[in-house]
């Protein structure tokens, strides 16, 4: 008899639900919020209200797409940390209500663990261990993924995440929010060597990331060369390509450095920024050059989505790891220790 699990994701500005049946993603629904664009970033209160309106129809649509019903579910998995507390609580309370109503277990899923395991959706036969680069609007992290539930944090950003650097750079260039896709699109027509933007360097750690200085460099570059007038045409394309290259070069260089130091032969790039075309191409080229396996996710599985919550939740469910109904949402991520081999995300 098949077993089905409902998964819910609401950590930021996507309301998503998925059904996982016997370890396979049977459906995935994502409702993305567009109202934040005029504010230049996600407004937590608006996000929470949008989740409230979307959660019921999104869950219903996921069940319909999977051709199943509530009565067929054996568990419900949900993101509990990290994220916007108001947003997390909408998904968590919905999951708790379903668990109580159906008398099925609740599975608590860490958002970063879900990203790390999201590569298994599109690469189900991928072997452990692998070096996981989580790169998104809120996170830039490198983990030694030793196995399910066994993750060791190796590097992190000391300030802005890579996706945040893309968004802030796009805002400076007048490209709106979200900025990453806009920069990626415009950069395709530009010269990545046109301008020498700095690569982040952290004096206390050669592996950690830093992108705040790059953002500041772009600000001063625009101030000194354009004097309040936004660049357009080929000039804009060259700036976007050069700025993007600085971010990508930093990500690839430090990922390769950590892979070599740890002797890891597999690399997985996950998260929303994994969709960046230059990052995908550059990481693949460097992995091929060094004889490493390169894996990534389809864009739909890189952004915040319930399919990755479902896959992580499925492994917890089959291992008997359930959560009490007193489980609450947590905004901040408590980073794993940088030593030891059995650390949680």
Beta bridge partners of 209: 157
Domains, the chain, in order of start with CATH, read 4-115+302-318 (3.30.420.40), 128-298 (3.30.420.40)
pTM comes to 0.91
CA dihedral 110, 112, 113, 117 (to 10 degrees): 140
Strand intervals (E) in the chain: 4-9, 14-21, 24-32, 73-81, 106-110, 130-135, 140-147, 150-156, 266-270, 293-296
Predicted confidence pLDDT, tens digits, the chain (345 residues):
789 999 999 998 899 999 999 999 999 999 988 666 666 667 778 889 999 999 999 999 999 999 999 999 999 999 999 999 999 999 999 999 999 999 999 999 999 999 999 999 989 999 999 999 999 888 999 999 999 999 999 999 999 999 999 999 999 999 988 889 999 999 999 999 999 999 987 767 789 999 999 999 999 999 999 998 999 999 999 999 999 999 999 999 999 999 999 999 999 999 999 999 999 999 999 999 999 999 999 999 999 999 999 999 999 999 999 999 999 999 876 443 333 344 445
Distance CA 215, CA 46 (A): 27
Of the chain, the end-to-end C-alpha distance in Å amounts to: 32
Positive/negative CA dihedral, 262, 264, 270, 275 = positive
d(CA 87, CA 89): 5
């Amino acid at each position: 008899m098949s077993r089905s699990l409902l998964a819910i994701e609401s950590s930021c500005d996507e309301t998503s639900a998925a059904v996982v049946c016997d370890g396979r993603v049977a459906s995935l629904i994502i409702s993305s919020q567009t109202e934040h664009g005029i504010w230049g970033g996600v407004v937590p209160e608006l996000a929470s209200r949008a989740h409230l309106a979307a959660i019921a129809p999104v869950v219903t649509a996921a069940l319909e797409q999977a051709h199943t019903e509530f009565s067929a579910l054996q568990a419900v998995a949900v993101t509990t940390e990290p994220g916007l507390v108001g947003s997390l609580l909408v998904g968590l309370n919905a999951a708790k209500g379903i668990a109580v109503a159906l008398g099925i277990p609740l599975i608590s899923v860490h958002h970063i663990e879900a990203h790390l395991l999201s590569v298994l959706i599109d690469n189900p036969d991928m072997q452990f261990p692998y070096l996981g680069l989580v790169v998104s609007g809120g996170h830039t992290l490198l983990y030694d993924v030793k196995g399910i539930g066994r993750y060791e944090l190796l590097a992190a950003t000391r300030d802005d995440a890579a996706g945040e650097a893309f968004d802030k750079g796009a805002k400076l260039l007048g490209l709106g929010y979200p900025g990453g896709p806009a920069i990626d699109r415009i950069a395709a027509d530009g010269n990545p060597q046109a301008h020498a933007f700095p690569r982040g360097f952290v004096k206390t750690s050669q592996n950690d990331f830093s992108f705040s200085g790059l953002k500041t460099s772009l600000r001063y570059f625009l101030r000194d060369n354009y004097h309040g007038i936004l660049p357009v045409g080929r000039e804009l394309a060259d700036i976007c390509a050069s700025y993007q290259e600085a971010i990508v070069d930093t990500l690839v260089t430090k990922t390769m450095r950590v892979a070599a130091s740890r002797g890891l032969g597999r690399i997985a790039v996950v998260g929303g920024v994994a969709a960046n075309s230059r990052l995908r191409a550059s990481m693949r080229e460097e992995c091929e050059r060094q004889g490493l396996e390169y894996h990534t996710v389809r864009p739909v599985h890189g952004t915040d989505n319930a399919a990755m919550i479902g896959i992580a939740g499925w492994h917890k469910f089959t291992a008997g790891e359930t959560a009490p109904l007193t489980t609450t949402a947590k905004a901040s991520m408590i980073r794993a220790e940088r030593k030891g081999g059995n650390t949680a995300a």
